[in-house]
Structure 1
């Protein structure tokens, strides 16, 4: 414990952190420069001066934020003075402690063990343009002009000798020079930094310049550049950068100074390392919270990186996401697993099928909980959880069966993230069945901000299209989605989750969901090696009386080079759709699905006719390498019987 006899009034004032009056004097603070003369170069103030501020033992804490410069006008012989602002800083009280050994700016608490009163010195470097710009403006041509500099809160004035030589422009005035900004990182300690980063920006503008803006440009480790968050119209400014808003790694800082006349200057970039250890977030994107589930669903789980990179620890095999279903009493009634795959930078998603309809489940309230274990860059493991409440409705009839046949996954969705591509020339093929009849099939394009492209805007509601059905048994529906992309609602190019819902008259539904990309680019519309349209050729006619006028015809897709038939460049998936005596493109009378045609295959079908009527063959083709899906609508052949 300290002895009372050692306390003095100055020391008590310092221990109470009393601050001197800004702009006034403090008898305990002195300052000395590393030079006493300032000279312009080519009419510009390009140098810097370092000032050592010393607070005597027991002196009060002092804030320095301005300086007053005084000189005698050489013409009128009258005293002139100008007060300028300098980047504010605090000179600690006249106490020293262990913290002050490594950090000259550290404040010491007198009540802490080891704190004693002693002189404290802090050095600050200011550009000569900051302090002497107004002197130069008033004295463009001066030789050894005595100038006194008095910082607020200090005891002594500093004598300087100021020399300037006017550089003549066309009008004899000094020519404006580009600013030469200076960046100072005030934060001390060992990198990587976390939390807030203190930055001082000095514009070093020419005395004749008008300041337009001073910008701190921040570039993160992912290549993102932020030059809008930190701006000022002042020639000197301090910024506080919240490093937790940027990904861990290198953070590059640069000051950009702009003048009203269009001149620009940039400081030397400085790179620091940052690390703010934070766990990723986990959320359940579907089914929606508080929704009613009447059939099998696909649970979509998303993990999103905060600032720290992470990996996931598998629960079993390669499955790293666990779903637990709890009843209203909190008991786990079902557990299933899935794998999260990378869909974009820092974003992982898992699509996990879940069926809560059956004899072992009743109509009730349940909670779906998704769990994952993330290993962060500091090797710590965080357990992540997200939950969503749902209710189930079990009826006597089962929910409809539902499959999206075209487009299909280009690769295993649990092993990769390649999206099928839908363009203006695409179509969907949907198969459903229900013993009581499917009432309708709904198609939703759901936009998620986390996986959206940079040019994509996500609306609050999904893009929804509905197909009336009202048919029992097995149904096929062809949906020309490409023709609707440009309609209202307009579906913007970008990444979506394609959700297809089949409902029956009992209120049951089946939901299937898959990631797709909407693109109107030509490269995302064409099937490699194939033309844009199919043709009908090899028409065999018969002119005999009483016979059908056409015996057979071929529907074929030419090559992009004009060859017939064309040959595919990549593996493709092909759905062949036949329309006999119908013009309803939604409902084919016959269909065949070929999961894989090898590269170099032709797409053609020759049909013979036994009855009068109209006939058409369509194709939906998906490139299994690029993901592009294209709909080829064939020509119509009308078959009639010749007169006898």
Structure 2
């Protein structure tokens, strides 16, 4: 080891210096930083493991470790359907072969290996794989249509073996042997005429034994013996069928990218009928495609998508199958594939177009190498949650080196996981977009992005909004509702002429709005000032004027809590409270009011008699033109103190239905200001203006209503 060499050399120099009795000073030993050990988990073929690898219980794996110092301990553990506690290896540094426990059940497992060197530096490696405990299934094994069992099958002329196999873990490798000789092999399906030898020549009559072996990706096998007795073919049945001799020709010269053309010919004999012709493509990683390029035509030009295969050498071979059960294969032809393309990023959860109903949305993103090598630019993956408008609701930045969020191979397939809280959002359509930047060999920096749209049916758990608009606090006294204010606290004051105004809203819809008094100890006064049920209403302003203090539920003078409660249609509730003082003797500013039409009377058929009017708070007189009926307000008093003024415009239609058609809230109207409210008319009926005024010095609230103005629609009939 490097560090050992430095220490030994230093010791030798010290010894020589001591013998010399002086001379040059002893050299200083160089220092090196201790690096954590490297850890890798590999298959026995020295390949990385992923959750796409299938293994058997008891299978062997390699653990590779190295260090610039000395690896002292190596432990490994398993997590999955059957978890195993950490096991310490006997030998440590270098290559260690371990056998998986024989009692593992089917499922996905994660192995964690931890290595520690002599200086205490530790590193951890993980790998996932799947355990398969089920043997592949031979779905169908027939000779000339007869199911193969333990007894011999007699065949005359042709002994067409047809095999279909299946396994949940992936393709099944089928191999037909006679003794030690391999006669035929294929994936999932196999056809072979047992009446012929491997070279296509006819066998002599007699009994023959063959062995069919099916192997799944985990290495589990199923075998079936096939015993056949061949007898002479009746000459009257026609000529003997011949084995096909298919050929292939690649169009153009390599290296190939994108789509590549391959001409294939079955070359069957005149006594044969073609069942199918298959072009099998196998890349340098062993990935085989025998399902995509299939035809029932004797001559076919296949368009092969080379982007589905790893760059490098790719093998092509054509197989032709006759309806008599004969199989022929072309010579293998190798070509070079060289595609330059970026990896693929996908949002695999939530699934695009899906519906989701849970408070937490799990998100899974994969980045998968296609053909070209790549590396991450920033080492981060950005994930955004947006609503149907495209407005950003939340974002996550995932570190690809953090194993708690991202696992896999950063140069092959990487899986990253995160989540979003949907409980405070509205039901509706959302989108999740994942993006990152990578450097691609031959392309440079590329931006990757993928989006998945889904529908959330999670109901919003947010309470409705509500607020007591009037009265308002005029000091910090009573700001803590949990504490009883002092007798001299400066609180809002309500008397027989006072009113209150509240506002409530909710995105789903309101169920009710309630306003009531509470005694200082929290007990409710039985009667509500307001108890309004809502139907299809999402926002409301509610006014109570004047407040009833002297009814059957008599409210003595004193301190109370004014409480406002709202509930939405989903059952979410919001309560707002404020300390107030009831004092009948304390009065605020008292005003006279007047109202006039501000435009000349109209006599045009179908028009309103007047289109506008004005109401004056504190105006005691008016002047009106006898001809036009238009007037002006006179002798208008001003506010004596800074005040909060709310003007409410009421309208009553000819059927007697009254509603508020306008409101103006002036948070602070300074003393000395005259209050004039101007209103435009747009329907036949009666209009008037009422005011809520709170003196910001004394806190007293008064409600004042102005006179009514009636408007008719002209009719000359």
How high is the TM-score relative to the length of structure 1?
Answer: 0.38
How high is the TM-score relative to the length of structure 2?
Answer: 0.35
Larger radius of gyration: 2
